[in-house]
Amino acid sequence: MNVLVTGIGGFAGPPVARALLARGHAVAGVLRPPFERPRLEGLPLTLHAFDLLDPERLRAVVAGADAVLHLAGLSSAPAAERDPGGAYRANLGGTLAVLAAVRSAAPRARILAVTSAGVYGAVEAGELPVGEDVPLRPLTVYGASKAAADLAAAQWGRAYGLDVVRARPFNHTGPGQDAAFVCAALARQIACIEAGRQEAVVHAGNLDPVRDFSDVNDVAAGYVALLERGRSGAVYNLCSATGCSIAEVVAILRTHARVAVRVTSDAALRRAHDVPRLVGTHARATRDTGWEPRIAWSDTLAGVLEDWRARVALGE
């Protein structure tokens, strides 16, 4: 297939591009200018630099695609809280732009609309592990903007006969992730401590919440599986189906650290809306596509820490 990936320059974009290329697909990508492409260097890609809300440019690149993997959007929950309008423009507006471009220029193309497990929000204990039929009760601007995009993608598929599949990835991490995200933030602090740039104390927010973490490369493989074998109109969780508290994340990172560190919970780093436990099930994705996560969580965190050692050495 000729696959167009929006947001290819973001955290998940390069792993997705590599996974698609490994399966023999031709890959083009859209990035918002100005952009740098160091994590995409060496990959045989066609890149287009423009804003997704430019309808003419978007229709032109969509016209040659057999499938569109829509990754672009605002991924930071704190940033969404600071600018709700911007969050909706990016997450809902960008999704509507992709849907409209496909309907106009490539109505037979498959669309994989990537949203987030943040759409589930206020999950009740009796609903765990979270399946795709759990009601959407987002608690944050980020989750609500992703839920709006999720519902819009489903509606356009039903109303206009588009081939739409939706993915709801749970937390995922790996090399290259921004330190605004919890695993990367913790790994960066340990790397700074090892380099003598920070006292031997790791500052964290609430250590108690349990989340469902995966390796970004597993999630990227899941996107490709859904593009290739997902059922049109269906929605799929991509997750590990295993809960891990933030305290456990810190404990695993400490086993990989080269120095002893202490950990403190900093009230200033706590989020206002933290559900105690959010763990999903990937049974539907496994049943329909054969996908399941394969990378050990400790290995993922070791890779994140090693990446931050290199980045800290370069001054990040």
What is the Cβ-side half-sphere exposure of residue 111, based on CA atoms within 13 angstroms? 37
Instruction: Classify 182-211+242-277+296-313 by CATH class.
Output: alpha beta
Query: Can you give the pLDDT at residue 33?
Result: 79
211-247 residue pLDDT tens: 999 999 999 999 999 999 999 999 999 999 999 999 9
Report pTM: 0.96
248-263 residue pLDDT tens: 999 999 999 999 999 9
Confidence of residue 312 (pLDDT cuts 50, 70, 90): very high
57-100 residue pLDDT tens: 999 999 999 999 999 999 999 999 999 999 999 999 999 999 99
| Average pLDDT along the chain | 96
* CATH code, 2-173+213-238: 3.40.50.720
Q: Give the rounded percent of residues in the chain with a pLDDT score beyond 70.
A: 99
Residues 228 and 207: their CA atoms lie apart, in Å, by 38
Query: Can you give the pLDDT at residue 36?
Result: 64
Q: Do domains 2-173+213-238 and 182-211+242-277+296-313 have the same CATH topology?
A: no
Structure-token pair, residue 308: 């931050």
Quickly count: other Cβ atoms within 10 Å of residue 259's Cβ.
11
Query: Can you give the pLDDT at residue 49?
Result: 92
Domain residue ranges in the chain? 2-173+213-238, 182-211+242-277+296-313
Query: Can you give the pLDDT at residue 271?
Result: 74
Q: What does residue 91 show for φ and ψ, rounded to 5 degrees? A: -85, -45
Pairing of strands 210-212, 277-278: parallel
